[in-house]
Amino acid sequence: MDNPKDEDKTKSQQSEENIAKGLSSLKAAGKLKYENPAEKETLESKMPSRTPKSEEEDIYRKIEIPRAKGKEDNKTADSSIFKGRPEVSRRELVQQLKKDPEVWEAQNRAGLNLSPVERAKLGKEVFSPSLGADISRADLRSSVRKLNRKMIGAKDPVEHAKIRKEIKFFKKIGGL
């Protein structure tokens, strides 16, 4: 028996010979236009150019996104009770709750109507002594979560609404 590789070689040789015969017959019949490879039109020559003609037409140009530069920009933009710091002392928090006009505005936007003393008392209730002398953003988040659980457990709709406003107030002053 013949080797299968030898059969494949003979088949490929036969197909090459058939292609060559077909091309020569086309040339003889005049159906093949270009015999000189330099005269042939290539696919690339028929395709339109993909390079932009001007900057206005360049739809693939790089888009620049403006970003704040430096840490100082972030500190000035922070209007929360933390003023760009990682944490605030408990005393300072109570003073801000009593006297800061931004806290008063946040209270009004949240729909609360508390006196400065009531706001300070609310701050002492929400931020338990177990949190330590300094209150961080993480402490604020955990206190808001506790208020949220308290709100969910409230049976009275008036109490529910009051706690919802308190949560909104603490989110506004804390920058959450």
83 by DSSP, 3-state: which? coil
Residues 54-91: pLDDT tens digits? 555 556 666 777 777 655 544 455 667 888 888 888 88
Contact 72, 84 (CB under 8 A): no
Q: What pLDDT digit, counting tens, does each position of 16-39 carry?
A: 888 888 777 766 666 445 555 555
Rounded CA-CA distance 70/60 in Å is: 30
Q: What is the 3-state secondary structure (H, E, C) of the chain?
A: CCCHHHHHHHHHHHHHHHHHHHHHHHHHHCCCCCCCHHHCCCHHHHCCCCCCCCCCCCCCCCCCCCCCCHHHHHHHHCCCCCCCCCEEEHHHHHHHHHHCHHHHHHHHHHCCCCCHHHHHHHHHHHCCHHHCCEEEHHHHHHHHHHHHHHHHHCCCHHHHHHHHHHHHHHHHHHCC
- Supply the pLDDT for residue 74: 47
> Quick one: pLDDT band at residue 53, thresholds 50, 70, 90?
low
Asked if residues 151 and 164 have their Cβ atoms less than 8 Å apart, the reply is yes
Contact 102, 79 (CB under 8 A): yes
- Determine the Cα–Cα distance for residues 11 and 168; give it in Å rounded to an integer: 82
Strands 134-136 and 87-89, by their bridges, are antiparallel
**Whole-number pLDDT of residue 135:** 87
Q: What single-letter amino acid sits at 133?
A: A
Range among 62-71, 98-107, 154-163 with highest mean pLDDT value: 154-163
